[in-house]
Chain A
Amino acid sequence: MNQEQIERYVVGRMSEAEALVFEEYCLANPEFARQVEYEQRLKAGLAQVASGSTAEFVRSESPLRWSLAAAAGLLVAVVAVLSIWNSGTHAPAATLLAAISDGTPQTASSLRLALVRGSENVPALPPGLVRVEIVGLFEAGNLYSVALDRREQNHKIDTIATLNDQRPTSPMSLEVVIDSKQLRPGPYSLRVRKQASGEEALDFGFVKF
C-alpha cells in the first residue's frame, strides 16, 4: 500500500472491492492506519472550514509577499498618475462602480486588494478611474456580488453601490472599476459575497484621501 492508495481511499475514488482489501490491510497494519486517519481528518477539517466560509482559504497571505505586492501596486499607480498629469488627459466619465467588460474605459491606475491577517496598513485608492483587483479564492462557476460601502465615523456602514452577477477573472481574482473622483475622502470597503450561498462576505478595506 502506498500514498497514492491512501489518497484514492480518502477522496472516495477506490472501488468497493479495493476498499475492502485496503481496510483489512489497515487492520493488520496499525501504523499505516494512523497515517490514513490523519488524511481523513485533514479532509474532514478542510470540509468544516470550507463549510463556514472560504475566508480561511484566503486570509493568510504572507505579509511580506503582500507588502511587496502593495508596494508594486502603489508604484504602478504613481507612474500612471504622473503619466496622466504630464499628458494633460483625463479618464472618461464612468459609473462609480462598474464591472470589467470590453467597453471598459481606459483606467488610469490600478489597486490590488487582499486580506492580510494582522495588517494595519489600509491601502489608498488612487485618483481617477481605478481598476481594482480583488485577490481571494473564487470559484469559476459561481457568481459574486460586490458592494461598495462607505464607513462613517459612527461605525455606520452606508452601501453606495452594488454589482451583482460578477464572474471572477481567475480562480484567485475578481476585478471591478471604481471611479475615485466620485468618492469623497474617507474609509471604504468592498464587500464580496458568493451569490446563492450562506457564506459570509469578505471585506476589503481601503481609504480615499
Chain B
Amino acid sequence: MDFIPGGELSRRIRDGDVSAEGELIRQFEPGLRVLLRRRTGGDYGLLQDLVQETLLIVIQRLRGDGIDDPQKLAAFAAQTARNLAIASLRKAERQRTDVDSEATDRNADPTQSVDRIASDHEAALAVRAMLRELPQARDRLMLKRFYLEDHDKELICQELDLSEAAFNQALSRARRRFRQILEERGFAKRDLLSLGL
C-alpha cells in the first residue's frame, strides 16, 4: 500500500473524497492501535473505542475547518489519541471514587465485556501454543524474564548462560511463531475496523 502524505490526504478529504477517508483509516489505524494499547492497560474494548473516536475526530476536523499544518497530520492524529486516552483515564478515576454499583450493573455493556475477554483470550491462546512448541525450558524462562520481569538482556544472558546471539535468535523465533499462530488462526484479521462515518 502506498503511503499518501498528510497534506494530500487533508486536501482530498476537505474536497469530499470518500476514498481518501478510507486511506486515512488504513494508514493511521495500526499506529493508533500501538499508541493507545500502551495507554489503555490491556482494556481491549476501550482501545477499540478510542481508536474509532480518534479517527472520527480527525476525519470530521478535516471535513470541516482542517488543521493548521496538514503536513503534520500524523502528529495531529497522535496527539488527539493521547488526549482521548488521558480524558478516558480521568473519567475512569472519577468513576472509581464514586461508584454506584446498581447503575454500573444497569449500564453494563455485555458485548464490550465479551469482546474484551475474547481479545485477551486470543493473545493468550497464541502464547500458549507458542510456548508448547519451544523446545527448551530456557527459552520460555527467557521470554518471561525479558517481557514480564523487565530484566536486562545482559543479565538474562548471564543467568541463563546464553550468548547475545543465541538470545536474539530465540527471541526472534518466538516472535515469528507467535505471529504465524495469530495469522493462521485468523486472530490478526480481527484488528480491522469498521467505522460508521
Residues of A within 8 A of B (CB): 9-13, 19-20, 23-24, 26-31, 33-34, 36-50, 56-62, 65, 117, 135, 137, 171-172
Residues of B within 8 A of A (CB): 1, 3, 26-35, 37-38, 42, 74-75, 77-78, 120, 123-128, 131-135, 137-138, 140-141, 143-144, 146-148, 150, 159-160, 174-175, 178-179, 182, 191
Contact of B1 among A27, A30, A38 (CB under 8 A): A30
A24–B120 Cα distance when bound, in Å, is 26
Could you show 23 A-B contacts with beta carbons less than 8 Å apart? A10-B147, A11-B147, A12-B150, A24-B75, A26-B30, A26-B35, A27-B28, A27-B35, A27-B75, A30-B26, A30-B30, A33-B33, A40-B37, A41-B126, A45-B124, A46-B143, A48-B123, A49-B131, A58-B140, A60-B133, A65-B135, A171-B159, A171-B160
Residues B147 and A40 in contact, CB atoms below 8 Å apart: no
Main secondary structure of the interface of B (DSSP, over half): helix
Which residues of B have CB within 8 Å of A34? 30
Residues A23 and B31 in contact, CB atoms below 8 Å apart: yes
Would you give the shortest CB distance from A153 to chain B, in whole angstroms?
32
Find the residue from B37, B77, B144 having the highest chain A CB count within 10 A.
Answer: B144
Residues B131 and A56 in contact, CB atoms below 8 Å apart: yes
Residues A58 and B137 in contact, CB atoms below 8 Å apart: yes
Would you give the shortest CB distance from A49 to chain B, in whole angstroms?
5
Contact of A28 among B31, B38, B42 (CB under 8 A): B31
